[in-house]
Amino acid sequence: MTDELETKTEAELSAVFAIEICGFHKEADTYWVDGNEDLVCDIPDFATDANAVLPWLEEYENVEFYFCSEDFDKWYVGILYNNGISGAFGFDKTFARAACIALIRAARARKGAGHE
């Protein structure tokens, strides 16, 4: 993949997730605003907190994930959408990071295909 999501820090990946998945935008260096224009002082650390990412995975009907311990010591999260025709994946050192990457890629692909 050429999106470089795997090379981002946890803070950078969480910020991308907040913007592209949650619909937040940064109003100033110190706070965020959600899609309803409500103030959000701190965004969850999506890239390290699996509990913050799980509700977003539930929006998809077909999600698979597993830990690849023998070969890679990394988590794989795959998301199928568009009736199982299309898919996106994340592959990283923690479940939360892999899920963030998969969700961002799925959202970008769906947006690019006109499925917002």
pLDDT tens per residue across span 70-100: 667 889 899 987 777 778 999 999 999 999 9
Residue with tokens 């946890």: 10
pTM score: 0.84
Q: Is 78 helix (H, G, I), strand (E, B) or coil?
A: strand
Q: CA quadruple 58, 64, 67, 71: dihedral positive or negative? A: negative
Alpha carbons 78 and 55: distance in angstroms, whole number: 15
- Strands, E assignment, 1-116: 25-26, 32-33, 39-40, 62-68, 74-81, 86-92
Q: How many CB atoms lie within 10 A of CB 17?
A: 28
Tens-binned pLDDT, residue by residue, of the chain (116 aa): 578 999 999 999 999 999 999 988 887 777 788 878 888 778 889 999 999 999 999 888 788 888 877 667 889 899 987 777 778 999 999 999 999 999 999 999 888 755 55
Domains for the chain: give ranges and CATH numbers.
5-112 (3.30.2120.10)
Give buried/exposed letters for 42-71 (b at 16+ CB in 10 A, else e): ebeebbbebebbeebbeebeebebeeeeee
